[in-house]
Amino acid sequence: MSRVLIIESSARQQDSFSRQLTLQFISQWQAAHPADQITVRDVARNPVPHLDANLLGGWMKPEDQRSEAEHAALQRSNELTDQLLAADVLVMAAPMYNFAIPSTLKAWLDHVLRAGVTFKYTETGPQGLLTGKKAYVLTARGGLYAGSTTDHQEPYLRQVMAFIGIHDVTFIHAEGMNLGGDFQEKGLNQARSLISEIA
């Protein structure tokens, strides 16, 4: 049995293309892997606070020196990090907002990229500690960005995943969602076809 962690981040609900891809992924993954455990964390509906002094204090201060707010921030980070550590497969559903990822997804990443937990510093530089995991990134984009210099979404997420030791990352892009007509249909069909192949 594998544990699958899905992170939803679209601010849109019923009309969200990335959420449509997630629903398909879950349906087909469950059909192919009925024993697997799937957990969905929706950081748009239940946002994680952005990185602040309380979280930094919770990470860096000894337990007896933490304030209540710092302790609460650390507990929240521990919960999110433990959930990621327990997962065998990570799925991030991310619409492209302003050429990059939603701030809600960035906030989640800021809670789980933790020195000594998901990566460590060595004499030769940082080393990721989450080796052996597989990640899928389902994106929805208004225009056509794959392979262009205006795509700050895929390069950033690839770097972040590699930083914590996840090198097996597959991106599935639904592009042209705001271009209408054939562009939208083609983009969705391509993404759905790829999900069918991997799930």
Binding-site residues: 10, 16-18, 96-99
Residues at the annotated binding site for FMN?
A: 10, 16-18, 96-99
Residue pair 76/110 in contact (Cβ under 8 Å)? The answer is: no
Q: CB–CB of 130/85 below 8 Å?
A: yes
Rounded distance between C-alpha atoms, residue 83 and residue 20, angstroms: 23
Cα–Cα distance, 174 to 24 (Å, whole number): 13
3-state secondary structure of 54: helix
| 105 Cα distance to chain centroid | 6
Q: Read off the amino acid at residue 40.
A: V
